[in-house]
Amino acid sequence: MNILMGLFHILVFPGLLFVCIIGLLLAGVDRKVLARMQKRVGPPLIQPFYDFFKLMGKETIVPHAANKTAFLAAPVIGFASLVVTMLFIPVFGYSAFSGSGDLIVILYLLTIPAVALIVGGSASGSPYAGIGISREMVTMMSYEFPLIMVLLAVAKKAGGAKLLFSLTGIVAWQQSNGSGIIHVALIPAALALLLIIPAEVGTQPFDVAEAETEICEGPLIEYSGAPLAMFKLNTAMKMFVMTSLFTCLFFGGIDTGIVALNALILVVICIVLTILCMTLIHAVTARLKIEHLFKFYWTFVAGLALCSLILVWIGL
Amino acid sequence: MFKKMIADSMSKSPWIYHVNTGSCNGCDIELVAVLTPRYDAERFGFKLAGTPRHADIVVVSGPITSQSKERLLRTLEQVPEPRCIVTLGSCPQSGNVFKGSYSVEAPIEKFVHVDVAIAGCTPKPEAVIEGLYKAAMILKEKREAMKK
């Protein structure tokens, strides 16, 4: 029974199937709402599903200069780590895996998709991918620092005297003390995380690594067919994983008691967050230069996160 | 089930890669116009891809200058199957006003098979959309033929 439940967790509910479908749906919402903002009709809501299945049906070309194993394994590694990340993030009161150090595990797991992109890009042997991966590394360095500070602030707030690194613990604390977002000290942290999400996912103003108009999608340049489909799926899944991490950290207080209803609320909150922090910013801004991105994250976003950290530490 | 979904999706998300082989830029602007809010080709799933590896439809414009012929053929070789080749404007088909020039290799049919030819100098955006849509339908047929 336990094995069956474990398999159900991994393959269906918080795991594989759930993340893939909701992730692609979020990507569809993003494209549709973006089109409406630009006064276009826009693609159908399930366009990312069409893209995914089409790419699955295309020929897979491995370039002559590429390292075949690393080139083909990279998207699968990124995919697997995203599924595992989702297993650790509780859907309000319901989580598949839980432990005392979830938050730290997630911090490591979240870097793996970006590292997979770097490995895949460098294995492809294209000079454009070389520029792409160097930019991807800088992007990673930019957002990791404020992300760690945001997580520390939440852990300190929830844990009181000692830091609480368990996500289930954080959600339980929110259910007795109100959602994270209503605590004044955590509002700057929430804003910072909202700005980190687009960089982590790699959408418009922060997509310097995959800029398709200047370096032809950077690390993805040599990919075609099924591996490209996996990378596109990874991007869509990252949208869902990051927004549900935000929900878990700052809206954890909502709990109806019914798992299906909770999942539905999670999806609705994720859609709102996607529109707010990805589509809206995409529609109104142009792509940054890599040095501006770095400066933005290490001054403005890190400043917000630090502000929150100080407020929490002085006990507000 | 997956096979049917793949076959159905093939015509619904064609990604375009644009090759300019010495065009006067007129056709290129019309192709971009197709993607703007007024004509919005994205409602059919069309997207401009940055690299030939991601492309399904290759749009060729210009009269194929001698310099660009070899590059064009090398680009076309890099596009994964199933793929469609669409010519944009009169230049790739006949050479148009450049016909007879020593540096123009005009009819593209001499080197590659063309699936859809959109004529005009320059073609209207409506004609471009229709041609691209036909190419998307051909993609589906090609996928089915590939499986047999």
Res. A148: pLDDT tops 80: yes
Helices (H) and strands (E) in chain B, counts: 5, 5
- Cβ contacts (< 8 Å) between B78 and chain A: which residues? 61
Residue range B62-68: average pLDDT?
88
DSSP β-bridge partners for residue B15: B47
**Is residue A51 less than 8 Å (CB to CB) from chain B?**
yes
Calculate Rg over the CA atoms of chain B: 15
Residue range A235-249: average pLDDT?
88
**Is residue B1 less than 8 Å (CB to CB) from chain A?**
no
**What tokens does A177 get?**
């003390």
pLDDT band at B58, cuts 50/70/90? very high
pLDDT tens column, A92-133 = 767 777 777 788 888 888 889 989 989 988 888 888 888 888
Domains recognised in chain B with CATH numbers:
2-147 (3.40.50.12280)
Name the most confidently modeled range: A99-103, A250-254, A291-295. Answer: A291-295
Nearest CA in chain A to B80: A59
- Cβ contacts (< 8 Å) between B53 and chain A: which residues? 61, 221-224, 228
pLDDT of residue A217: 79
CA–CA distance, A110 with A64 (Å, rounded to integer): 31
pLDDT of residue A169: 80
Instruction: Give the residue, B94 or B146, on which the prediction is more confident.
Output: B94
pLDDT tens column, B5-18 = 787 788 888 899 98
Which of A21, A33, A54 best tests the B interface by mutation, with the highest count of B CBs <10 A? A54
Question: Among A48-62, A154-168, A265-279, whose mean pLDDT is lowest?
Answer: A154-168
**What tokens does A314 get?**
């002085």
Return the H-helix or E-strand segment holding A106. Answer: helix A102-124
Average pLDDT, chain A: 85
pLDDT of residue B121: 86
ipTM: 0.87
Beta carbon pairs, A and B, within 8 Å: 87
CA–CA distance, B15 with A220 (Å, rounded to integer): 15
pTM (predicted TM-score):
0.87
Determine if the peptide bond prior to B82 is cis (ω within 30°).
Answer: yes
- Cβ contacts (< 8 Å) between B35 and chain A: which residues? none
Task: Return the closest-CA partner of residue B39 out of B116, B138, B123, B114.
Answer: B123
Q: Which of B2, B9, B78 sits opposite A54 (nearest CB)?
A: B9
pLDDT tens column, A164-213 = 788 888 888 887 777 777 777 788 888 899 889 988 888 878 887 777 77
- CB pair distance less than 8 Å for B37 and A47: no
CA–CA distance, A215 with A134 (Å, rounded to integer): 12
Determine if the peptide bond prior to A85 is cis (ω within 30°).
Answer: no
pLDDT of residue B148: 63
- Cβ contacts (< 8 Å) between B32 and chain A: which residues? none
- Cβ contacts (< 8 Å) between A37 and chain B: which residues? none
Listed in sequence order, the residues at least 6 apart from A16 whose beta carbon sits closer than 8 Å to its beta carbon are: A10, A83
pLDDT band at B98, cuts 50/70/90? confident
Instruction: Give the residue, B145 or B29, on which the prediction is more confident.
Output: B29
User: Which of A108-124 are b and which e, b meaning 16 or more Cβ less than 10 Å from the residue's Cβ?
Assistant: ebbebbbbbbbbbbbbb
Return the H-helix or E-strand segment holding B88. Answer: strand B84-88
3-state secondary structure of B96: helix
